[in-house]
Amino acid sequence: MKHLPKHLRPRWRYLAVEVETWPDASLNRGTFQRELWYAAQNLFGDAGSADADLTVLGFDSDDCVAETIVRARRGHVDEARAALACIDDIGGDPVGVRVRGVSGTVRACSERYLHGRAGFSEQRDVVFENESRTATVRDSLLDVSGPDGFTGATQLDLE
């Protein structure tokens, strides 16, 4: 179909979103999009979520941190933030979601708020609370694996 003339096309806002999780989780665009739709539908109902029209555009996953761009209709950015805040887990893996910023174009959004790799992570043996454990280390942040899941820590907790 012939595309709409410019003044009739919908206006969009692009949200740069950071998704953080434990090291054993795997995130991808499809599951994130599904959770976002569920979150929006549960919060606003069918009508409201169709209005906000939330779409995940890019998804750059890197170990425990993923960077992504979420498109929302202009004027529905606050709703988009609310729906994003309600994403608690993706496919059973708990996640932290943070909006880094909002832009009017995809290009501005990725140039200003997305930095590519979020920092390299490595496996290391650490002593946490007097026990020897394996940890995934990213900058000064550590995810220490234990018998019942991971514990978030920083270098300050080791000394």
Q: Shortest Cβ distance from residue 2 to another protein (Å)?
A: 36
Q: Which residues bind another protein (CB under 8 A)?
A: 20-22, 42-44, 78-82, 84-86, 88, 94-99, 140-142, 149-154, 156-157
Q: Shortest Cβ distance from residue 111 to another protein (Å)?
A: 20
Q: Shortest Cβ distance from residue 11 to another protein (Å)?
A: 19
C-beta contacts of 52-60 below 8 A and 24+ residues apart: 52/76, 52/79, 52/80, 52/83, 53/10, 54/80, 54/83, 56/29, 56/32, 57/14, 57/106, 58/29, 58/106, 58/110, 59/27, 59/28, 59/29, 59/32, 60/114, 60/116
Q: Shortest Cβ distance from residue 30 to another protein (Å)?
A: 20
Q: Which is nearer to another protein, 39 or 110 (CB)?
A: 39
Cα 28 to Cα 122: distance, rounded to the nearest angstrom: 21
Q: Which is nearer to another protein, 59 or 76 (CB)?
A: 76
Q: Which is nearer to another protein, 98 or 112 (CB)?
A: 98
